[in-house]
Amino acid sequence: MKYTFPDGITIECEIIRKNNKNIYFRFKDDLKLYITAPMYLSQRSIEKLLKENNDAIYNMYLKMEDKVKDDDKFLILGKKYYIVVDENLDKITFKEKEVFTPSREALDKYLNTEMLRVYNEEMELAKKCFANLPDFTVRTRKMTTRWGVNDTKKKIITLNTELIKHDIKAIDYVIIHELCHFFEPNHSKNFWHLVSLACPNYKEIRKSLR
């Protein structure tokens, strides 16, 4: 049995008959809808119930699809794309929910290039919010517990490479946070006041990064 959602997506359905009083819908990793139905319930009645519960079932499908394709996601600037590898392509292109790439390696290279470009551009913009900043170096590396680090003695700001997966507001907040440490080395009230001057909604952004 097959069922088609209003947007045109068609799914396979498997009906499992049991001595139940109620009908149950669930998706598995194969993205097939398993319908556990009472013995007496006709297929026509099941199809009617599918239509009546279309929105709920569609949301279940999207959640399972998201889970199944987790390894094929490409995250950049707060947006998520499913990866489609096509060796015949000569460049990377984006559509609404998909990114088309000739290889995974090409996509990794693209992400690294974009990360450096975005970090540098946003750093230059953020520097305009401050006066008397010292000369400093910006580096990147993958970190597990921090989004950014400012070694004020060596004057080196290190940004987490994973930060590029978040939106610009989050990136700007982390950059501003680290720049503020040149003036306030700890997280005192004065520090957070300084952060708030350049990033008024920092509390909201901090929550999104947890």
The CATH number of residue 182's host domain is: 3.30.2010.10
Distances in Å between the Cα of 107 and the Cα atoms of 73, 88, 96, 120, 166 are: 11, 14, 17, 20, 17
CB neighbourhood size of 16 (10 A): 10
**What's the pLDDT score for residue 70?**
60
> What is the total count of domains within the chain?
2
The one-letter amino acid at 84? V
The Cα angle at residue 75 between residues 90 and 73, in degrees rounded to 5? 75
Last residue of a domain, one of 22, 39, 68: 68
Q: Choose the final residue of a domain: 27, 42, 68.
A: 68
Question: The whole model's pTM is what?
Answer: 0.68
Rounded CA separation 47/126 (Å)? 57
61-105 confidence digits (pLDDT tens): 988 887 776 666 899 999 989 888 999 999 999 998 899 999 999
pLDDT of residue 71: 60
The type of residue at 39 is: M
Q: Which two tokens stand for residue 171?
A: 């990136």
Q: At which of 52, 68, 84 does a domain end?
A: 68
The confidence score (pLDDT) of residue 67 equals 74
Backbone angles phi, psi at 171, to 5 degrees: -60, -45
Structural domain including 63 reads 2-68
- Running along the chain, 210 residues long, what does each successive block of 10 average in pLDDT? 90 93 91 94 93 94 78 86 90 92 94 97 96 95 95 97 96 97 95 96 93
86 occurs within a structural domain? no
Residue 120 located in a structural domain = no
Instruction: Report which residue type is found at 49.
Output: L
Q: Please tell me the predicted confidence (pLDDT) of residue 73.
A: 83
Q: Is residue 189 part of a domain?
A: yes
92 part of a folded domain = no
Cα distances from 16 to residues 36, 59, 124, 154, 157, in angstroms, run 5, 21, 61, 66, 59
| Domain annotation covers residue 102 | no
Q: What is the pLDDT of residue 69?
A: 64
Which residue spans within the chain are E strands per DSSP?
A: 2-4, 10-18, 24-27, 33-38, 73-76, 79-85, 93-94, 98-101, 137-141, 148-151, 156-160
